């Protein structure tokens, strides 16, 4: 049975004081999480060290929102895998649609980052998803397949078992327009089918595929009830402990 993995992407919110307050709440609410549910928080870089300290020994795991594809060097403004690991990070979100849209990240660049994360022992949460125009143009499957193939290019079968894919339709991120459970399930099944083709059925059966896009406490249960939806990548609703907990508690019912 696959784990249910609920990750909160804090984006560019929360200073150190807010970080402490939110984490105390999340930690308390996640204390009763069963072992099949993994709860991850992904604060901004400036909060990672504090979060790592506050979460030590708790049920909540730490992730980052981005990472350089380089080990180190003259790359102003970038953060390496080594820096992330030194804060206690175990996960890293890669290729979020906001990184693709505002910072020009391509599948090829995300692929380099994913390989670097895997080589360093970080677990990548790799985001894919179509725009509204692409969905309306009837090319969702094609677009997502191209992204999945591009971001996974050259990743070995043994590394693939550690990859989390997040299907995040761009039109549903931060818009309040959630994909219906059937729409999300359809794309999740296509992604799993593609992974089976690229790797094997047993790897496809093992990997976690999260849904992201306006997940809230009141829609999480029906999304997570879908056979190929193994978790959620949550933006807006993870910024308050109660609403984030409402989502990961839905994961406990799965």
Q: Annotated active-site positions, please?
A: 96, 168
CA distance 48 to 62: 8
Q: Does 9 bind ligand PEP (CB under 6 A)?
A: yes
DSSP one-letter code for 131: -
Q: Which is nearer to ligand PEP, 81 or 211 (CB)?
A: 211
| Of the candidate residues 234, 241, 245, 247, the single one contacting ligand PEP (CB under 6 A) | 234
Tell the smallest beta-carbon distance from residue 236 to ligand PEP (Å).
Answer: 3
Residue 14 backbone class (left: φ over 0; alpha: ψ -120 to 50; beta: rest): left
CA distance 158 to 161: 6
Q: Are residues 117 and 81 in contact, defined by beta-carbon separation less than 8 angstroms?
A: yes
232 - beta bridge partners?
6, 211
Q: Does 8 bind ligand PEP (CB under 6 A)?
A: no
Tell the smallest beta-carbon distance from residue 226 to ligand PEP (Å).
Answer: 16
3-class secondary structure per residue, 144-188: HHHHHHHHHCCCCHHHHCCCEEEECCHHHCCCCCCCCHHHHHHHH
Q: Which is nearer to ligand PEP, 27 or 96 (CB)?
A: 96
Q: Which is nearer to ligand PEP, 19 or 210 (CB)?
A: 210
| Of the candidate residues 63, 213, 231, 251, the single one contacting ligand PEP (CB under 6 A) | 213
Structure tokens at 89: 């990070």
39 - beta bridge partners?
6, 60
Tell me the window of 30-38, 146-154, 189-197, 234-242 that interacts with ligand PEP (CB under 6 A): 234-242
Task: Return the residues of window 44-73 that contact ligand PEP according to CB under 6 A.
Answer: none
Q: Which is nearer to ligand PEP, 199 or 248 (CB)?
A: 248
Tell the smallest beta-carbon distance from residue 77 to ligand PEP (Å).
Answer: 21
Q: Are residues 156 and 107 in contact, defined by beta-carbon separation less than 8 angstroms?
A: no
Q: Does 80 bind ligand PEP (CB under 6 A)?
A: no
CA distance 244 to 41: 10
Task: Return the residues of window 111-140 that contact ligand PEP according to CB under 6 A.
Answer: none
Q: Which is nearer to ligand PEP, 204 or 215 (CB)?
A: 215
Structure tokens at 41: 């928080």
Q: Build a one-symbol-per-residue string for 82-111: x at contacts with ligand PEP by CB under 6 A, - elsewhere.
A: --------------x---------------
């Amino acid at each position: 049975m696959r784990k249910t993995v609920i990750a909160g992407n804090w984006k560019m919110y929360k200073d150190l004081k807010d970080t402490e307050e939110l984490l105390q709440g999340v930690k308390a609410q996640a204390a009763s999480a069963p072992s099949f549910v993994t709860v991850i928080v992904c604060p901004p870089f400036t909060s990672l060290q504090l979060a790592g300290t506050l979460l030590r020994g708790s049920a909540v795991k730490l992730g980052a929102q981005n990472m350089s594809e380089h080990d180190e060097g003259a790359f102003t403004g970038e953060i390496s895998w080594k820096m992330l690991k030194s804060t206690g990070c175990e996960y890293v979100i890669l290729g979020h649609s906001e990184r693709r849209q505002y910072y020009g990240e391509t599948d090829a660049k995300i692929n380099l980052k994913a390989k670097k994360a895997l080589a360093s022992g970080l677990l990548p949460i790799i985001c894919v998803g179509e725009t509204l125009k692409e969905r309306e143009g009837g090319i969702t499957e094609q677009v997502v397949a191209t992204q999945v193939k591009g971001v996974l290019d050259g990743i070995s079968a043994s590394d693939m078992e550690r990859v989390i894919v997040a299907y995040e339709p761009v039109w549903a991120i931060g818009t309040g327009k959630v994909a219906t459970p059937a729409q999300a399930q359809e794309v999740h099944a296509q992604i799993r089918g593609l992974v089976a083709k690229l790797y094997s059925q047993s790897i496809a059966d093992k990997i976690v595929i999260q849904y992201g896009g306006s997940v809230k406490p009141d829609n999480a249960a029906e999304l997570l009830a879908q056979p190929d939806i193994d978790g959620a990548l949550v933006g807006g609703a993870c910024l308050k402990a109660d609403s984030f907990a409402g989502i990961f508690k839905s994961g406990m019912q799965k």
